[in-house]
Amino acid sequence: MSKRPAKRSLTLKGHRTSVSLEDEFWAGFREMAAARSMPINALAAEIDTARGTEMGLASAIRLAVLRHYRDGPSAASD
């Protein structure tokens, strides 16, 4: 299990941003993108658009990963 969240860079709508997630969530996020046959930046942009303004991007990614594993790939971006 990871000790601290790891910060990594993503590109959203042409702009670089960094997101801090635990290693297990980064692995799940990459697996989720692969299962959907899309680049991780495209998946991040989709999650970013759906999250609204009340939630941070890292939290939205964690919840999407959780839904992906709990409910299956089609429910991950709801």
* Per-residue model confidence as pLDDT tens digits over 35-60: 999 999 999 999 999 998 889 999 99
Residue 7 pLDDT greater than 80, yes or no: yes
Whole-angstrom distance, CA of residue 28 vs CA of residue 68: 9
Query: For position 2, what pLDDT does the model report?
Result: 56
Of the candidates 36, 46, 34, 37, which has an alpha carbon nearest to the alpha carbon of residue 10? 46
Specify the CATH number of the domain 6-75: 1.10.3990.20
Of the candidates 63, 46, 58, 55, which has an alpha carbon nearest to the alpha carbon of residue 17? 58
Q: C-alpha angle 36/38/39, rounded to 5°?
A: 140
Domain chopping of the chain, boundaries: 6-75
Query: For position 19, what pLDDT does the model report?
Result: 96
